């Protein structure tokens, strides 16, 4: 879990790009995720190692800096297919919440979002309550839940971590449609912790 959170911080960086727009120089600040060819996070990158374009024209990267620790949005799958790994799911969620700092929100979903907690203290209490329950029968709407949560996020410095077996049998959105929406939108990156290796 510690590695997961450190990867979240290392993959997000703020880049300030200076380029010509409308015939004049203007600085643009944007958040980027830095990954290598194997889609692994890259750390210790300097501005001169990157190239940028604005509307197809070369631009100069004047600075790059890591972002602060992102807000963690934890999405826990409580559908019936998780019953065999429920204890591990809750343990993993508690560990993530414990290391995330105060900026953490926790959601639980099955066929839809079934509950949430805001902040570290409420998230810890919420997970304690969930640990005494058993996942219930019903559909799993992973894709719809991801889209709903992403639409609620107001900060750009955030990351969604999903604890699930990756199964979805009830969403109105397909996997491809969900990916497409995330690519087109300024939504946070999604990281998955998959606990059911049989699937």
User: Exposed, middle or buried by CB within 10 Å (0-12, 13-18, 19+), for 53?
Assistant: exposed
Which residues 6+ apart lie within 8 Å of 154 measured at CB?
none
Tokens of 146: 């991801």
pLDDT of 107 above 80: yes
Higher pLDDT: 91 or 17? It is 91
The answer to whether the predicted template modeling score (pTM) of the entire model surpasses 0.85 is no
Q: Which domains does the chain have, with CATH numbers?
A: 2-66 (no CATH), 71-194 (3.40.50.410)
Q: Give the number of other Cβ atoms within 10 Å of residue 121's Cβ.
A: 12
Please name every residue paired with 53 in a beta bridge, in sequence order, or none if there are none.
Answer: 58
Tell me the per-residue pLDDT of 8-65, one tens digit each, with 9 for 90 and over. Answer: 444 445 555 555 555 566 676 776 777 788 877 777 888 888 888 777 778 788 888 7
* pLDDT 10s digits, 119-130: 999 999 999 999
Torsion sign, CA atoms 175, 171, 191, 164: negative
Res. 97: pLDDT tops 90:
yes
Please give the C-alpha separations between residue 4 and each of 16, 38, 67, 169, 192, in angstroms, as whole numbers. 26, 17, 16, 27, 10
Mean pLDDT value across the chain: 83
Split at pLDDT 50, 70, 90, the class of 198 is low
pLDDT of 113: 96
């Amino acid at each position: 879990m510690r590695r997961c959170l450190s990867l979240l911080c290392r993959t997000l960086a703020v880049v300030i790009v200076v380029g010509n727009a409308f015939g004049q120089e203007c600085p643009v600040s944007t958040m980027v995720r830095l990954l290598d060819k194997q889609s692994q996070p890259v750390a210790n990158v300097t501005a001169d190692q990157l190239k940028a374009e604005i509307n197809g024209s070369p631009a100069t990267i004047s600075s790059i800096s890591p972002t602060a620790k992102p807000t963690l949005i934890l999405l826990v799958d409580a559908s019936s297919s998780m019953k065999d790994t429920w204890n591990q799911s809750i343990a993993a969620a508690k560990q993530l919440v414990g290391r995330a700092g105060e900026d953490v929100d926790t959601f639980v979903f099955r066929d839809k979002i079934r509950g949430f907690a805001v902040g570290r203290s409420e998230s810890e209490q919420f997970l304690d309550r969930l640990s005494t329950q058993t996942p219930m029968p019903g559909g799993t709407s992973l894709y719809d839940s991801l889209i709903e949560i992403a639409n609620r996020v107001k900060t750009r410095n955030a990351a969604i971590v999903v604890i699930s077996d990756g199964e979805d049998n009830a969403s109105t959105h397909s996997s491809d449609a969900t990916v497409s929406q995330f690519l087109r939108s300024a939504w946070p990156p999604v990281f998955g912790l998959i606990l059911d290796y049989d699937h």
